[in-house]
Structure 1
């Protein structure tokens, strides 16, 4: 699974927003963009999507900005990634979203011997991301390795 810049930036922005303000106060978009080295115009588009989905709220005008709509413990990383990235399925025939059935995207749907591999990958990724909250990411003390 390759994650888009939108998802990478969105998750980083949410962690920064949670660290800077949480649900208590707003943070200007520019401050988040500068702190995370994210182009401000691109971040504005991402934050608009997060606001429409109810992950953040915004206040206009002087002293305005963004804040979390609920505590970091109540924000699922899986839900954030699905919003920003779309399906977590690594291949179209195992996707659970949209109007297309697996049969419509692949003629080999019924006989494909590798489909179970991709199903397992999709389930593992979904379970791993759904098990994490924004708070888990904020306070994760696992050493980072390259």
Structure 2
């Protein structure tokens, strides 16, 4: 599974809104300029996030977007599923070898577990120095 620009840029939008949570609306133009992204593309990505109830639009001269929930209540899995669809490393059918099918299911579940346990709050408060030697970091077994 490869996350496209939809998922990556959508997560960027959500992290920017999370970082300013409670401070008022943020324009997509400011997010686009800060991250050197296309404002038009971000407009396409914000619609499904708004329709899913994760962001609200505020109209007016000082309008923009705000999170509908606290950053601690929105996971990266929520954002990626809205923009990318179901999380799965491969498409497999019922006819696949049971051993391979089990492998793909375990990989899918491991990815989903990491994404569903990582909130926007975790991402905006992440400090690389604190986590470099952490014994509580993620360990993946494939």
Q: Is the 8 A contact 1:76 1:131 kept in 2?
A: yes
In 2, the alpha carbon distance for the partners of 1:55 and 1:35 equals: 22
Q: Displacement, 1:24?
A: 3.7
Q: Does 1:139 align with 2:125?
A: yes
Residues matched between the structures, number: 131
Gaps of 5+ in 1: 94-101
Task: Give the 4+ runs in structure 1 shifted more than 3 A.
Answer: none
Q: Displacement, 1:87?
A: 1.1
Report the TM-score when normalising by structure 1: 0.83
In 1, the alpha carbon distance for the partners of 2:56 and 2:46 equals: 9
Local SS of the residue matching 1:91: coil
Residue of 120, 124, 131 corresponding to 2:110: 124
Report the TM-score when normalising by structure 2: 0.85
Q: Is the 8 A contact 1:6 1:46 kept in 2?
A: yes
In 2, the alpha carbon distance for the partners of 1:42 and 1:30 equals: 11
Gaps of 5+ in 2: 133-142
Which string of whole-angstrom CA distances, capped at 9 and with x for unpartnered residues, describes residues 1-40 of structure 1? Answer: 2100000000011111221x21441011100111122111
Matches within 5 A, 1:1-146: 1-19=1-19, 21-93=20-92, 102-103=93-94, 108-109=95-96, 111-143=97-129
In 1, the alpha carbon distance for the partners of 2:70 and 2:79 equals: 14
